A = this chain, B = another copy of it.
Amino acid sequence: MDQKDRKILGYLQEDASLSLNDLAEKVDLSPSPCWKRVRKLEEDGVIRKRVALVDQDKLGLPLSVFVLLKTCNHNEEWLEHFADKASSFDEVVELYRMGGDWDYMMRVVVKNIHAYDQFYKKLIKTIPDLCNVSASFAMEQIKYTTALPL
């Protein structure tokens, strides 16, 4: 991965609908070697996938809730079971195992506070041994990008 690959990633991170010709031009290559690089980046898994980003508000799901969790149960099996179950909820768009005070944090996307409460009830029903659950509501999404710093 050299500087040109990085440049390619930079552009495709921002706009994957860019045609190969345009991309090639931007990175100062002719289409064919540019295409080879793109394909290699895909094969190597550097480019994980191409996706369409959908507008949360326009879909009627303006609310992001950050949910912090503590478990009472610290064995391997529980962890795996939790990861599986929690990941399976479509509302959970991000899920992290954390260091520090809380064991897990997730971002949950819902219509409104009531919908969050429904999710909450579903969550604690599905996953036992949660010792502590705390929700923080995002008032405003100031920045959201999938583009990693290069």
Interface, chain A (partner B; CB < 8 A): 9, 12-17, 44-56, 58-59, 61, 64, 66, 83, 86-87, 90-102, 104-106, 109, 136-150
**Contact A49 to B53, CB < 8 A, known contacts A96-B138, A142-B95:** yes
A136 contacts B98, C-beta separation under 8 Å = yes
Contact of A93 among B66, B83, B140, B147 (CB under 8 A): B147
Residues on B with beta carbons closer than 8 Å to the beta carbon of A56: 148
B148 contacts A93, C-beta separation under 8 Å = yes
**Contact A109 to B148, CB < 8 A, known contacts A58-B44, A58-B46, A142-B96:** yes
Assembly CA distance A140 to B82 (angstroms): 13
